[in-house]
Structure 1
Amino acid sequence: MERSNTSRQVPFEHTGASAGGVQSVDRAITVLDILARAGSAGVIEIAREMGVHKSTASRLLAALDARGMVNQNRERGKYQLGFTVLRLANSIPRRLSLVKEAGPILEELAERFQETVNLAVLRSRYAVNVDQAMGPSSLATTNWVGRLTPLHATSSGKVLLAGLSADRREEILRETGLPARTAKTVTSRSELEKSLVEIAAAGYSIVHEEFEIGLNGIAVPVHDHTGSVAGALSISGPSFRFTPEETPGLIEDLKQSALRISARMGYPG
C-alpha cells in the first residue's frame, strides 16, 4: 500500500526509495536554495522559479516548515530559512579541519611548482604555519610548521593583516610595531597600509626578501564559511630561482587552489 502524499511525508520519507522520493528531496533542496539566495519568498514566487504548481510548492514549504527548516512571516506571508538550517550550518565549522581540507592541495602545488607550500593562520599577533608541503627542489628548505612569523614582513602575514578590520589591525600593529627583519622590510605604517589595500584588491601578496635575505614568497587568502579570511596559502623559494610574478600561471593557480580549499570550508565564493 502506498503512502499518502501528505505535506509531511513527500520530501523526506521517500529518501531514495523511488524516483518520486528523489525528486521530492531535490525539490526541497531547491526551495532552500531559493530562500538562501532571495532571503524570503512567497509560494507563488517559489513555484514560478521552480516551474511547478503552487500547490506543490505549498506542500514542500509545509513539510520544511514542520521541521523548522523554513518559517513563515505571518504578516507578509513570505517564507525564510528557519533555525534548524542555522543550527545545522553552525555545526559544520566544528567538523572541518583547515589542515585536513588543505593538505592534498598543498601537495599538488608543491609538486607543480617545485617549491615549498605553506598554510598559515593568525594566532594572537603572528602568522603561524600549520601545514607544509615541499616540492622536489625544496628538500633542504626549513621546516616552517609551528613557526611564528611577523605579519608585516611575510606574504602570508600581509594577507592575514589585509583580511582584518581596521581596529583589529591597529591593535596588533600597535603591540608589535614594524621591526626590520632585513633591509627590505616595510617599516613605514603608511606604506604598509597602502600595500594592504592593494593586496585586498588584487587577492594576493608578494614579498621579496622582507623576512629573510634570499627568500621570496607569494600568498593568497583562504576563506571560511562566513567569508572571513581563515588562513593564507603561500609558496616560497630562494630568490635566485623563484620570482613569483615571473612564474607562468603561478598567481592564478594559487588563487584557484585557495578557492578550492575555501569551498571545502563552506565558503560560497
Structure 2
Amino acid sequence: MADLEVYDDEDTAGQLSRGVQSVDRAIAVLEILRRRGGAGVSEIADEMGVHKSTASRLLASLLQGGMVQQNSERGKYHLGFGILRLANSIPGRLSLVQEARPLLDALAEKYKETVNLAVLRSNYAVNVDQAMGPSSLATHDWIGSLTPLHATSSGKVLLAGLSSEQREKILKETGLPTQTANTITSRRELEKQLMDVASTGYAAVYEEFEIGLNAVAVPVHDHAGAVIGAVSLSGPAFRFKPEEMPDMLEDLKHAGLEISSRMGYAPE
C-alpha cells in the first residue's frame, strides 16, 4: 500500500507539473501575439522553441476559449475578444491608492521626504494618499488638498497628459493665478514646460506653489495608456533639488512605471 501511495503522489505531481507548463506556454503564446500583433503556428513554435504540433494544440485550446482568433485568409492568429472581455473587467476593480501604497512607502523610506499620489478632479490636482519618511521634516497633511495644476509638479504632469482641447478648457476656467513670485503665469511658458514634461517624463517645480517647497512628479498610466495620476516627492527648497539628484529621479520614474504596470499599463 505504501508503494502505491508513493506512486500516486508522484503521478499527481507529474500531472500538476505538466499543467503548470501548459499554462506557462499558453501565456507565452498570448504575449507573442500581443507583441507581434499576429503570428502563424510556425512563427510561434520557433519563438517558443517547441514543436509545431505543440504550438498548434495550444492555439486550438486558446481559440476554443475565445482568447485568440484566426485570420481565415492568411491563417495567422491574433488576440481574441475573450481577452478584451477579461481586460475590461479589471480597471474597475483596481484601486490606484492600494496599488501605489507600497511604492509610496518605499520612496518615503529611502529619501526621507514627503511622497504624494494625486489625481485630476474638478480642475485641480487632488492628493489622495501620502507617505512620509521616518525623519521627514514635513508635517503638513496634503491628503484631500486641492492644488493648482499650473503651479505644482503633480498638476503639470496631469496637464501634460491631457489633450490640447482638454487643457484649453481647464486653463480657460482656472486661469494661471499667482501663488508665489516663481509661479508660471504665462500660457506660452507653461505650454513649453508641458512639452518638456512629455519629453523627459517628469515635472519639477521650485517654490512655484509655496515658498520654501520644491517638488518633482512623474505620471501614472492606466491600461489604455492614459495618465490617471501623478506621484510626487517634495521637500524643503534648501536641500531638495530634484534635477541635481539623478538617482532619485530614476527611482521616482521606476515607481511611476511600476504603479502603472499594476494598473494594467504595458508600454511598447
Check the 8 A contact 1:15/1:21 in 2, yes or no.
no
Report which stretch shifted further, 192-201 or 90-99.
90-99
Letter in 2 for 1:113: Y
Q: Aligned residue for 2:263?
A: 265
Report which stretch shifted further, 67-76 or 46-55.
46-55
After TM superposition, the structure 1 = structure 2 runs for residues 1-269 of structure 1, keeping only pairs within 5 Å, are: 17-138=15-136, 140-247=138-245, 249-269=247-267
1:164 offset after TM fit, Å? 1.0
Letter in 2 for 1:31: V
1:117 offset after TM fit, Å? 0.7
State how far apart, in whole Å, the 2-side matches of 1:51 and 1:111 are: 44
State how far apart, in whole Å, the 2-side matches of 1:155 and 1:193 are: 14
Check the 8 A contact 2:138/2:235 in 1, yes or no.
no
Deviations 1:160-196 (A, max 9, x none): 1111111111111111111111111100000000011
For this pair of structures, how many residues does the alignment match? Answer: 256
Q: Structure 1: which 5+ residue stretches go unaligned?
A: 1-13
Q: Aligned residue for 2:7?
A: none
Deviations 1:187-237 (A, max 9, x none): 000000001101111111111111111111111111222222121110112
Check the 8 A contact 1:182/1:209 in 2, yes or no.
yes
Check the 8 A contact 2:114/2:138 in 1, yes or no.
no
SS where residue 234 of structure 1 aligns? strand
Q: 1:25 to 1:264 in 2, by over 3 A?
A: same
Report which stretch shifted further, 234-243 or 28-37.
234-243
Letter in 2 for 1:28: A
Check the 8 A contact 1:16/1:22 in 2, yes or no.
no
TM-score (norm 1): 0.89
Letter in 2 for 1:126: Y
Q: 1:33 to 1:217 in 2, by over 3 A?
A: same
State how far apart, in whole Å, the 1-side matches of 2:246 and 2:37 are: 42
Check the 8 A contact 1:155/1:205 in 2, yes or no.
yes
TM-score (norm 2): 0.90
Deviations 1:22-52 (A, max 9, x none): 2222221111111111111122222222222
State how far apart, in whole Å, the 1-side matches of 2:107 and 2:80 are: 40
SS where residue 225 of structure 1 aligns? coil
Check the 8 A contact 2:183/2:208 in 1, yes or no.
yes
CA RMSD of aligned residues (A): 1.8
- Bigger fraction of residues in helix: 2
Check the 8 A contact 2:113/2:138 in 1, yes or no.
no
Q: Structure 2: which 5+ residue stretches go unaligned?
A: 1-11
State how far apart, in whole Å, the 2-side matches of 1:47 and 1:70 are: 16
Q: Aligned residue for 1:5?
A: none
Deviations 1:220-260 (A, max 9, x none): 11122222212111011221232222346211111112122
Name segments (4+ residues, structure 1) moved above 6 Å. Answer: none
